[in-house]
Each structure stands twice: as structure tokens, then as C-alpha cells.
Amino acid sequence: MSEKIRSFISIDITDQNLLDKIVGIQRSLLETGADLKTVEPENLHLTLRFLGEIPRSTLELVRGELKSLRFNRFKLNLYGLGAFPNLRRINVVWIGVREGKENLKEVAKKVEFMLKKLGFPPDPKGFSPHLTIARVRTGKNRDRLIDF
């Protein structure tokens, strides 16, 4: 039986100035007293498509196909905080995408098309451009995040 790996396709955040600003926001969120697990700076990314648990051989196939994807360089501007599933029941805290959102959606469409050719089913949730910065562990002081 082939080893399965939890996989996703993403764009890493590598700009140190941006990472420093995000870490500052994360610190402020922790100061609310909410029970949060912040995403480590080296793990911050914009997910284009979650793949789930897939065999290593399939992952290698996806990697190979990704190398053939082409798109023009574009600028992204991250702005504003939001929450999944909603503000009444916050499980995930994220930063939104303002400038470059349409470009990012185009890249996600190309990824989705490539995955369809490889036999992956369509993403049932669709693409929602965001950068996850924290996850709520328990309901402790969760309500304090609403006013953040």
C-alpha cells in the first residue's frame, strides 16, 4: 500500500517585512486572551487548492504538472482580517487579499484545470483567497476576537 501524504498547493510568503507585520498581528491576537494556535512564520502561505491525503506517486505527478503552469508576475496586497466559518463562531482567523485577488483567482483556476486533467474531483468549497494566521483551539475568550 502506498504511503499517503496530506497535501496542498500554495504560494509561500517569503517577504521578511510582510512576515514581521503578520507576526505583529498574531501577537496582538494572542493578547486578546483567546486560545489560539498561530501559524509559524515559515508555514505562512496562500492555499490555492487543498488535495487531502494522496499517495506519494500522485503527489509527484502533481509536482511535475505544476512545473508546466505559466502565469505573469503580479502584485498582491493583503488587507483586513476575517474569520471562518463566520464571526459568530470563529475557528480560523485570516488576512484577506485586496490587490491581485483576480490574478490569484486566475492562478487557482489554472491549478484546478490541471488537477481535473489528473483526475481530481472539483474543489467542493471553491477558491477563497486568504492567508490563515491563526486557529482557535478552544472557545476560551473567543468572543474577544470579534472586537479585534
Specify whether 32 is catalytic.
Answer: no
Please name which of 103, 104, 126, 133 lies closest in space to residue 49, comparing C-alpha atoms. Answer: 126
Amino acid identity, position 7: S
Catalytic residue among 36, 108, 130, 142: 130
Helix (H) or strand (E) holding 17: helix 16-30
DSSP code of residue 87 = T
d(CA 100, CA 84): 21
130 is catalytic: yes
Contact 120, 8 (CB under 8 A): no
CB atoms within 10 A of CB 106: 13
| Candidate list 32, 41, 45, 105, residue with the active-site label | 45
Residues contacting 113, CB < 8 A, separation 6+: none
Indicate which residues carry an active-site annotation: 45, 130
